Homo-oligomer: A and B are copies of this chain.
């Protein structure tokens, strides 16, 4: 490492003995210059540690190397986990991920899209709020920037959608629950803020209908994203009021189930399959914490990895082709049953 500070590409080109346009070419794609040239540049790079100014680079380029990643609520471990997966894949592909957190609100989601717009990203991976999203904003954004939706679908928006097959996953867990005991009631928020909740509700109703069982919706009050708290307090209330129509409860998501399990524990109700158990509880998502609840939570596992991979792959294919999608593909991955102690 030399002590001379290189302040721009001109100077770096000088010390490396290569012309500036060729150096520029190298930084855009090292493979685009002759091997001997590449080696000379890389040798100089070791001696001087120069990095092109990112603002100057992006000013004239139509396509930056930025990839936006927007998730609805990053404090939710489920989204943190999928964001982490996506981020790693983007880095591996040689792009710069820009991770943005909508913090559960439409306002922040719109702000995020605005920020992304001014960053001129090559593409965006967007997990929208869903129903709560500002459809026209998202639509306008998708028109300007190649955007792949994941986790939560908004009909007709974006180049593609990759998510989980809620019909399949809900049917899967209901089938299991019915095989192993009473048909489940469905525990959910009356007005859920999170994506996919309505999909799961209707999947529940459809599946119960198909199996010839009477559906029971337990719709509780509560606002915001503090699902465990809602599952806990409303779970307490339901249990106290003897509001459970069956001994089996399927929660709309694992976070509600975590709260619900905690409530059952506090109320002294044993949860599980065995003799002496008063209740069975199942969730949905295979939340990172679902394997540490008491008892451990039976749930269905979304195929995180495939969703992340397919989303990133789809976006990069689009970016490489330089075109928009000919048609909007929807890819749904099946979930798998995770049998644990709670049901």
* Chain A residues near B (Cβ < 8 Å): 51, 53-56, 58-59, 74-75, 77, 80-81, 83-84, 87-88, 91, 96, 98-101, 103, 111, 114-115, 117-120, 228-229, 232, 258-259, 261-262, 265-266, 288-289, 291-296
Contacts and interface: CB of A to CB of B under 8 A. Distances in A.
B101 A99 contact: yes
Nearest to A114: B51
Contacts of A74: 74, 80, 83-84
A295 B114 CA distance: 44
Given A53-B59, A101-B99, A118-B53, A292 B87 contact: no
B288 A75 contact: yes
A168 to B, nearest CB: 26
A230 to B, nearest CB: 11
B54 A261 contact: no
Contacts of A83: 74
A4 to B, nearest CB: 16
5 contacts: A59-B59, A74-B74, A74-B80, A99-B101, A228-B292
A169 to B, nearest CB: 22
- Copy count, this protein chain: 2
Contacts of A55: 54-56, 58-59, 120
Contact of A296 (B99, B120, B262, B295): B262
Nearest to A96: B115
Given A75-B288, A262-B292, 5 more contacts: A54-B119, A77-B80, A88-B103, A228-B288, A228-B289
Contacts of A115: 96
Contacts of A291: 228-229, 232, 262
Given A58-B55, A294-B261, A75 B77 contact: yes
Nearest to A119: B54
A262 B77 contact: no
A187 B296 CA distance: 22
Nearest to A57: B55
A91 B289 CA distance: 30
A158 B91 CA distance: 27
A293 B292 CA distance: 8
A228 B88 CA distance: 23
Contacts of A91: 111
Contacts of A98: 98
